[in-house]
């Protein structure tokens, strides 16, 4: 049987322990801590709003005075073809100087048009052009760099020749009678065959 004095002492000790545990975390202290945390968070939000605010400013640039479009223009000297009778496989050359009189660089190409009265000779001619070598255009024969050529009805001549604005280039215009030309081309005359030099913005 438990001693009444011991039981009373034990109950008293338990009450003190509860009281002490309550006094460690009083309600006032808890509320005060919560308020301090909320205040700190509110201050941080207010400070962050100032930190991330965007700056704004504007200043007009002086107006552009003038904008001008460029121009494309070419000038070519006339061809003087050697008066040599043609035979299959022969290539004749005629020099021409092409000048870019426009204000933009131009890539050269060419277009071959048929004469007013095509015949067996004109239909077997190949016409083209290449940059003239330092020694100038030969009267006939091959060039170190073969000219870009086209026959009648073929696509336009395409080259890698570029003339800067205000510049010029010396060309060798080639006229060849195809090796496969038939005998019907003999004793024929081709008149009005035109090679047009074209310039496109490069």
First to last CA, the chain: 117
Of 106, 101, 77, 87, give the one whose Cα is nearest residue 172. Answer: 77
pLDDT of residue 169: 92
Residue 106 CB contacts under 8 Å (≥ 6 apart), including other chains: 72, 74, 100, 162, 163, 199, 200, 201, 202
pLDDT of residue 49: 53
**From CA 94, how far away is CA 175, in angstroms rounded?**
8
With beta carbons less than 8 A apart as the criterion, state whether 185 and 120 touch: yes
Q: 0.85 exceeded by the pTM? A: no
pLDDT of residue 97: 93
pLDDT (tens place) for every residue of the chain, 202 residues total: 545 555 566 556 556 555 555 555 555 555 555 555 555 555 555 555 555 667 888 888 888 778 888 888 999 998 888 888 888 989 999 999 999 999 999 998 888 787 778 888 888 888 888 888 888 888 888 877 777 777 766 667 788 889 999 999 998 888 888 888 888 888 888 887 788 888 888 7
pLDDT of residue 32: 56
pLDDT of residue 28: 56
Residue 123 DSSP SS3: helix
**Mode of pairing for the β-strands spanning 157-163 and 106-113:** antiparallel
pLDDT of residue 52: 60
Residue 85 DSSP SS3: coil
Rg (CA), the chain: 48
Q: Write down the residue that tokens 């195809």 correspond to.
A: 178
């Amino acid at each position: 049987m438990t001693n009444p004095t011991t039981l009373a002492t034990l109950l008293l000790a338990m009450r003190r322990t509860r009281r002490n545990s309550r006094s460690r975390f009083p309600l006032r202290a808890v509320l005060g801590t919560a308020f301090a945390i909320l205040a700190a968070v509110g201050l941080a939000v207010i400070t962050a709003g100032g930190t991330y605010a965007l700056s704004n400013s504007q200043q007009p640039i002086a107006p552009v005075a003038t904008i001008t479009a460029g121009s494309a223009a070419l000038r070519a000297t006339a061809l003087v073809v050697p008066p040599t009778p043609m035979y299959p496989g022969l290539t004749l050359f005629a020099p021409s100087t092409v000048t870019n009189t426009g204000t933009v660089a131009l890539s050269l190409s060419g277009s071959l048009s048929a004469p007013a009265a095509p015949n067996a000779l004109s239909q077997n001619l190949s016409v083209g052009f290449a940059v003239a070598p330092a020694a100038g255009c030969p009267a006939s024969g091959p060039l170190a760099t073969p000219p870009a050529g086209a026959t009648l009805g073929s696509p336009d001549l395409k080259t890698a020749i570029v003339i800067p604005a205000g510049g010029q280039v010396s060309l060798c215009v080639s006229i060849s009678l195809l090796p496969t030309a038939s005998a019907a081309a003999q004793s024929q005359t081709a008149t009005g065959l035109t090679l047009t030099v074209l310039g496109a913005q490069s």
